Amino acid sequence: MELQTYLNNMMDPAGLPFYPLVFQVLLVLTFALHITMINLVLGSTFVAIWEVGKKTTYSLRLAKALGRVITVGLSIAIVLGVAPLLFVQVIYDPYWYTATTMSAFWAMLFLLVVTVAFYAAYGFYLGNRQADTDTVSVRWAWISLLMLLVAGLFIHMLTMEQLEPQMWKKWLIGQHGVVSVAGGEFHGISLGRLLHFFIGSLAVTGVFMMLYHWYFRDRADYDPGYLEYVSKTGVKLAFWSLFPAIGAGFWWLGTVPDGFHFASNPFFLAGAIMGVCTTAYIGTASEKPAEKAIFSALALFVTIFIMCCAREGLRMDYTGAHGYSIFNYRVNPDWPSTILFFATFLAGLYVLCFPAIAAFKAGKAPKGQVVSLDPSLGKTAVGVMVAWFAVVAALGLFVSLKNGVLF
């Protein structure tokens, strides 16, 4: 069977419940959010270990503060990672399911590795949160960092395997013509691409450290000298790490097939220009890092988002080389489920506004001070949740009665 025939026959015969472009846009957006949080966790873990090695009062305090960032950030990153994974399964299902079947052992091991990284991160945070501790143990941080790197390697491998379907037959069938069904294949590593994401995590963490100063600068119980140390260290980290990250990105560019003309891709060019401009702007923030923290963060995220768009364009080049296009998917619009999906999304954003605002204000207030909020926002958020549960329950009951499931 020809590869193009195989890929197109592997498409879900039921088609898509909505237009593929919408899924693609959501895929890129949610992946940008996910990879930003992953970069923050990875970079924060490395910086925490590095700061402990300095053994100064400020560096140990920063390391303990980053311990909490790691746990919260990893929780958010895991939740955000579900969305792009689901969208990939919807519009690139022949690639995703083939790769995860061919390398099933590593796909399952990925879940265990992430779990160990999560618990190790909590071990680092909980073991060092005492305010009167002069020393910080990094044993759990090292374990978490190692597991995060291994998890990144696994998901990178699975992603790269999807892009080389012409190699699937060779990888699955051994030298003696026996098909491997163990799911132990491990192929497709691109070191330049992997380093581009790993090194970029330091830049994200550096900008976060600038935001740390901006956020806590109005609190009287925070030493201004400590905040200055954190933000200026963050500026240096973000500025100098962006250079090797950009270099690794161009190394990765050199491995892309010439026929894709990726160097002239508008998203790649825009991302490269934005990356250079962001680096230059962060370089000017050493004097007043807190004042330039917000714009630096926005510029960096825009850069990440544009590069995620370029990444998706490159994936379309790889899949298009074998006659596959998400726009060839048959579309059978399912309006009730689509409306419910977007309504759930918007309702969720509104409900999350209340705890987000509460947490933001509480963090900026001195320790022990009570923060008051407009109760109407909380009441409305609860009302939205109740309404959502009622609608979903009613819809489920209606569909069950209509299809005779309950009787």
The DSSP line for 146-197 is HHHHHHHHHHHHHHHHHT-GGGHHHHHB-TTSPBP-S--------HHHHHHH
Q: Are both 281 and 392 inside the same structural domain?
A: no
User: Measuring CA to CA, which residue among 292, 291, 290 is closest to residue 280?
Assistant: 292
Contacts of 349 (CB under 8 A, 6+ apart): none
Q: Are both 231 and 360 inside the same structural domain?
A: no
What sign for the dihedral angle of Cα 308, 310, 314, 320? Answer: positive
Look up the domain containing 380 and give its range. Answer: 335-407
Contact between 87 and 26 under an 8 Å Cβ cutoff? The reply is: yes
Give the residue from 288, 318, 333 where a domain finishes.
Answer: 333
Q: Are both 261 and 355 inside the same structural domain?
A: no
| Burial status of residue 402 (CB atoms within 10 A of its CB: 0-12, 13-18, 19 or more) | exposed
Q: Are both 105 and 239 inside the same structural domain?
A: yes
User: Measuring CA to CA, which residue among 232, 186, 225, 228 is closest to residue 207?
Assistant: 232
* Ranges of the chain whose pLDDT falls below 70: 1, 131-133, 174-176, 406-407
Give the residue from 333, 351, 381 where a domain finishes.
Answer: 333
Q: Are both 121 and 242 inside the same structural domain?
A: yes
Residues in the chain: 407
Query: Hey, what are 344's tokens?
Result: 């759930």
pLDDT of residue 407: 63
First to last CA, the chain: 45
Q: Are both 254 and 342 inside the same structural domain?
A: no
pLDDT of residue 1: 57
Q: Is 16 helix (H, G, I), strand (E, B) or coil?
A: strand
Q: Are both 307 and 358 inside the same structural domain?
A: no
pTM of the model: 0.92
What sign for the dihedral angle of Cα 235, 241, 247, 249? Answer: negative
Contact between 245 and 196 under an 8 Å Cβ cutoff? The reply is: yes
pLDDT of residue 201: 95
Give the residue from 311, 333, 355 where a domain finishes.
Answer: 333
Dist CA 47 CA 50 (whole Å): 5
Dist CA 43 CA 200 (whole Å): 8
Q: Are both 276 and 340 inside the same structural domain?
A: no
Count CB atoms within 10 A of the CB of residue 126.
13
Dist CA 157 CA 151 (whole Å): 10
Q: Are both 229 and 353 inside the same structural domain?
A: no
Q: Are both 206 and 101 inside the same structural domain?
A: yes
**Residue 371 CA neighbour count, 13 Å, CB half:** 13
Q: Are both 197 and 346 inside the same structural domain?
A: no
pLDDT of residue 178: 74
| Burial status of residue 261 (CB atoms within 10 A of its CB: 0-12, 13-18, 19 or more) | exposed
What residues does 331 pair with on adjacent strands? Answer: 16
User: Measuring CA to CA, which residue among 236, 234, 205 is closest to residue 42?
Assistant: 205
Contact between 185 and 215 under an 8 Å Cβ cutoff? The reply is: no
Q: Are both 268 and 282 inside the same structural domain?
A: yes
Q: How many domains does the chain have?
A: 2
Query: Hey, what are 289's tokens?
Result: 């890092």
Q: Which residue has the tokens 């010439």?
A: 258
